[in-house]
Structure 1
């Protein structure tokens, strides 16, 4: 169980708890929180955090005027170091991602406080909160995060500036094919191609400091900041269901490679345990 150690008071209001409980795990939710203005989420503190982090935990690129469906390989560099990007974030048209912030003791404490508060709502639905991770996005005005999906449950907390996240139905088969899932869980990219006709099924949520978005597992989405520098904290976790889904995708890839057309993986609340256990057994055997 996660244990609260650092923060006094609640991160979420009673109303936010009710909204989250009514939405989790399959529907997006617009929440409120008390993290805006937290000293660990100020630009100066984040620059110091980035200086302490291992280079492989830092990511940055140009992020303005990008196509929604740009591939991971085609995402342009900005010609700056990550530290210079943070220093010039007001004007360099980029975003910076700080990954695995739970490796820093202060940010680990913050994460424990937040996730422990919603744990009683999560566990009855999807079981233990497994492999919690934290990410921080520092973004220039009008920066775009292209269309993609995530294999984790995620709450995105806005601490500075504002942005709009545009979400689509979980595992929408027109947007994410089974072959794309299989490729991703075999180590492939997560960015998705874009078709304009998908805009009709979009669900945009705009957030300002003190607001958050719960992003369901496997829900395609893209993001654009507004006219100010943006700082967002993303806290994620997995479930046993999510790991079974991933292994079932890997098993389907095995079947496809020997000429079998497998049934699509099931979406929550149905499970994928049989395929998952087959995949795990074959992996243990070295297959």
Structure 2
């Protein structure tokens, strides 16, 4: 059963999105998810309660734009729903992680990704590892400069935010920041401010495509903000991530690999090796379970 209203309430996109995905170019779009019953404040609060503290990251709302390591808060299970409902009077910044753990939200994530694929002319089977995240934050909140490794579709539900995009200052800075990510020391948070490139003003009914490995940051307006981000991998960022993982393992062995992108043929070989290795691991795990 569809969880989306008809006509299509998800991102209003077309074939231009496929071109942007291919070259990793950010873009804005409209949507009509703000009134969706799964996206009401009460539904989000109840979802947070169901997911529990292990699937929620909590931080102070106001923080510098450059925060190299997140300062996570401890979150009491009994306080989650109330804290999400009372963001306007709080100093809170929450991420509800992997909402696809709950069946209704998994169906919503799948419908959004497949609907976007249909409208952009993409093969939905090629958009894998689909995940959903709800961001809820108090007025004046800041999301520090960071990057994600997934393709992201951000949909603003309530409140207003400014989404800023930047670029790394040099290939060396990019490589250093990505190395920090794969060592598990940064969660994608950046050590230095990227060079600003563009901005989008987001309000209920607007959204943005955020490419993988693209620096970005957000600043809330004077209202509490609630938004949904749906993410996925396709072949290009899956392969880049595979190469980055292998490069990190080589560095641990004292080997200095060529950065991703410096030797495309070598990158393709590394990605193929990692796909083979992942397949072998899956077959071993399957055989052990029988």
TM-score by length of 2: 0.82
Task: For residue 79 of structure 1, report the CA deviation from its aligned partner.
Answer: 7.7
More helix by share: 2
Distance 1:40 1:10 in 2: 16
Distance 2:266 2:211 in 1: 16
Residue range with higher mean Cα deviation, 85-94 or 42-51: 85-94
Distance 1:175 1:203 in 2: 22
Distance 1:132 1:24 in 2: 16
Find 1:238's aligned residue among 233, 237, 262. Answer: 233
Unpaired stretches in structure 2, ≥5 consecutive residues: 282-290
Distance 1:141 1:174 in 2: 35
With over 3 angstroms needed to count, the CA separation of the structure-2 counterparts of 1:76 and 1:58, relative to structure 1, is closer
Q: How does 1:39-50 map to 2 (within 5 A)?
A: 39-50=37-48
Distance 2:59 2:81 in 1: 12
Distance 1:123 1:271 in 2: 27
Find 2:182's aligned residue among 167, 181, 185. Answer: 185
Task: For residue 83 of structure 1, report the CA deviation from its aligned partner.
Answer: 3.4
Find 1:24's aligned residue among 21, 24, 46. Answer: 21
Distance 1:112 1:141 in 2: 30
Q: How does 1:249-260 map to 2 (within 5 A)?
A: 249-260=244-255
Does 1:36 find its partner at 2:39? no
Does 1:274 find its partner at 2:269? yes
Distance 2:38 2:20 in 1: 29
Match of 2:81 in 1: 83
Q: How does 1:113-124 map to 2 (within 5 A)?
A: 113-120=111-118, 121=120, 123=122
Match of 1:220 in 2: 215
Task: For residue 137 of structure 1, report the CA deviation from its aligned partner.
Answer: 0.6
Unpaired stretches in structure 1, ≥5 consecutive residues: none
Distance 1:143 1:34 in 2: 24
- Aligned-pair Cα RMSD in Å: 3.0
Task: For residue 69 of structure 1, report the CA deviation from its aligned partner.
Answer: 1.1
Match of 1:142 in 2: 140
Task: For residue 212 of structure 1, report the CA deviation from its aligned partner.
Answer: 0.6
Query: 1:158–1:208: 8 Å Cα contact kept in structure 2?
Result: yes
Find 1:97's aligned residue among 95, 98, 101. Answer: 95
Match of 2:285 in 1: none
Query: 2:154–2:210: 8 Å Cα contact kept in structure 1?
Result: yes
With over 3 angstroms needed to count, the CA separation of the structure-2 counterparts of 1:175 and 1:230, relative to structure 1, is farther
TM-score by length of 1: 0.83
Task: For residue 87 of structure 1, report the CA deviation from its aligned partner.
Answer: 3.3
Query: 2:161–2:220: 8 Å Cα contact kept in structure 1?
Result: yes
Match of 1:72 in 2: 69
Distance 2:265 2:162 in 1: 31
Query: 1:186–1:250: 8 Å Cα contact kept in structure 2?
Result: no
Distance 2:31 2:143 in 1: 23
Number of residue pairs matched by the alignment: 274
Distance 1:37 1:191 in 2: 32
The SS at the match of 1:166 is strand
Provide Cα deviations, 1:99-151, integer angstroms capped at 9, x if missing partner.
11112122222222211111133636x97011100000111111011111101
Query: 1:68–1:146: 8 Å Cα contact kept in structure 2?
Result: yes
